[in-house]
């Protein structure tokens, strides 16, 4: 395991006797509850704060479409005004205050304004908002894939750590047994005290390895709890995962699917489309806008200068003439940003291709390591058998035997770790190919 240095691994003494077959099984905590990988993923997708936050942001972004579309609809306001003039002789005030504004009155009424055309600016803003909302939905999909990947990696890390712990405990039991046997033989003067000292040192090192392995298991279970969105450490036994499908013969087989399914790529493309739409909207700032306005109401209390009710309608045509280059600068900014987004899309296409290829190579390396580590176990077992025979015959030293035992234990741990490493790298490959969406 990556959590142990090689020197620490080899200190796990000879688990080469009947204990070693248990490396392929998951350790069973005291509870009878079993947690499967599918259950862990379902819990994460339902409770993981990161997943919930992404979903809320996607919903919030969808509301911006309604905000942009509101420009198509009329605006209606209701007003009520009451005025009591301090000086009865006042008929006109300075500035923009009209006669009615300084007349005694109480009036109420409504105003309506409706955009007739802005030559496509509102339409472009709606399109930009729609593309932005789609990008945020794709980000939520990407977050879902990342959450599933995190759960799988944490799940396999727990299983791998528990495999190391089983090996450590098996080595611990065997080391203490060997130390007791050599102590008895030394008392009968059949073995030297040097052999006993070597055995006791390795037994203590095996005790230390068990302590370290138990700590790693606890840490990895805490990580799995975080990945699944739980505040409490996972205590349930983990079910053995189903082996993944056969590795594709070439990464090129997965590239078309990755380019079509990767959520981050889809989000970047949607953002680029939104930037194009916004640039189009900024360009139309320089176009005229035409709207109609209307107002009507009653004045139940008024002086002689005002009528009892009122109604009016009209239109407003706004033609931009000069604003210090503001609209031109905004258009240029939006167009440059759209060009940058297009390059972002191209860059991400290249990155996706690289990620798929690298993930495939890493998974292929781990898959080929399965056969190599299996051969290493067989060879180390044979070397241990020969070393044991030489030691029993008095032809080999305790150092030679101990080294053979350490090599065999290390090979067993490497073989157990290789399986979970392959599963983790297959999960990375599935993520790179967009299969975890």
Residues 6+ apart with CB under 8 A from 140: 51, 54, 55, 57, 58
What pLDDT does residue 99 have? 63
Residue 18 has pLDDT above 80, yes or no: no
pLDDT in tens, 361-410: 999 999 999 889 889 989 998 998 898 888 878 888 778 888 887 888 88
pTM: 0.80
What pLDDT does residue 89 have? 58
Please tell me the CATH code under which domain 6-432 is placed: 1.20.1600.10
Tell me the mean pLDDT in the region 272-282. Answer: 96
Compute the distance between CA of residue 431 and CA of residue 136 in angstroms, rounded to an integer.
19
What pLDDT does residue 20 have? 35
* Range of weakest confidence among 2-11, 21-30, 107-116, 205-214: 2-11
pLDDT in tens, 286-316: 999 999 999 999 888 877 777 778 899 999 9
Residue 19 has pLDDT above 70, yes or no: no
Token digits of residue 291: 């709207």
What pLDDT does residue 98 have? 65
Tell me the mean pLDDT in the region 79-104. Answer: 66
Residue 422 three-state SS = helix
Residue spans of the domains in the chain: they are 6-432
Tell me the mean pLDDT in the region 75-91. Answer: 76
For residues 69 and 273, the answer to whether their CB atoms sit within 8 Å is no
List, edge to edge, every strand of the sheet that includes 309-318: 75-83, 105-117, 289-302, 309-318
């Amino acid at each position: 395991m990556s959590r142990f240095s090689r020197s620490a691994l080899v200190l796990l003494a000879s688990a080469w006797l009947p204990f070693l077959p248990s490396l392929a099984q998951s350790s069973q905590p005291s509870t009878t509850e079993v947690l499967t990988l599918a259950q862990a993923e379902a819990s994460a997708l339902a409770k993981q704060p990161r997943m919930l936050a992404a979903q809320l942001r996607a919903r919030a972004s969808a509301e911006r479409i309604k905000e942009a579309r509101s420009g198509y609809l009329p605006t209606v306001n209701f007003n009520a005004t009451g005025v009591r003039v301090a000086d009865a002789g006042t008929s006109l005030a300075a500035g923009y205050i009209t006669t009615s504004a300084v007349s005694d009155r109480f009036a109420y009424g409504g105003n309506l304004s409706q955009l007739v055309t802005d030559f496509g600016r509102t339409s472009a803003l709606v399109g930009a908002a729609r593309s932005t909302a789609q990008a945020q939905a794709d980000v939520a999909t990407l977050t879902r894939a990342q959450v599933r990947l995190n759960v799988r990696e944490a799940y396999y890390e727990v299983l791998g750590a528990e495999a190391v712990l089983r090996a450590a405990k098996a080595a611990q039991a065997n080391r203490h047994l060997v130390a007791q046997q050599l102590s008895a033989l030394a008392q009968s003067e059949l073995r030297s005290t040097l052999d006993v000292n070597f055995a006791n040192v390795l037994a203590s090192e095996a005790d230390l390895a068990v302590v370290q392995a138990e700590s790693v298991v606890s840490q990895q279970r805490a990580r799995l709890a975080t990945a699944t969105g739980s505040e409490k450490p996972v205590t349930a036994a983990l079910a053995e995962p189903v082996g993944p499908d056969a590795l594709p013969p070439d990464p090129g087989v997965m590239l078309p699917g990755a380019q079509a399914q990767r959520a981050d790529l889809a989000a970047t493309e949607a953002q680029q489309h939104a930037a194009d739409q916004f640039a189009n909207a900024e360009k139309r700032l320089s176009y005229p806008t035409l709207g109609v306005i209307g107002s009507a109401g009653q004045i139940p209390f008024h002086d002689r200068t005002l009528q009892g009710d009122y109604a009016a309608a009209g239109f407003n045509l706004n033609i931009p003439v000069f604003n210090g280059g503001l609209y031109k600068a905004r258009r240029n900014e939006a167009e440059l940003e759209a060009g940058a987004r297009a390059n972002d899309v191209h860059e991400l296409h290249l990155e996706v291709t690289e990620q798929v290829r690298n993930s495939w190579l890493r998974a292929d390396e781990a898959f080929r390591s399965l056969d190599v580590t299996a051969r290493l176990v067989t060879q180390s077992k044979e070397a241990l058998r020969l070393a044991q025979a030489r030691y029993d015959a008095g032809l080999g030293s305790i150092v030679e035997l101990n080294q053979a035992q350490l090599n065999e234990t290390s090979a067993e741990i490497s073989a157990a770790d290789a399986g979970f490493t392959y599963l983790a790298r297959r999960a990375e490959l599935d993520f790179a190919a967009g299969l975890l969406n």
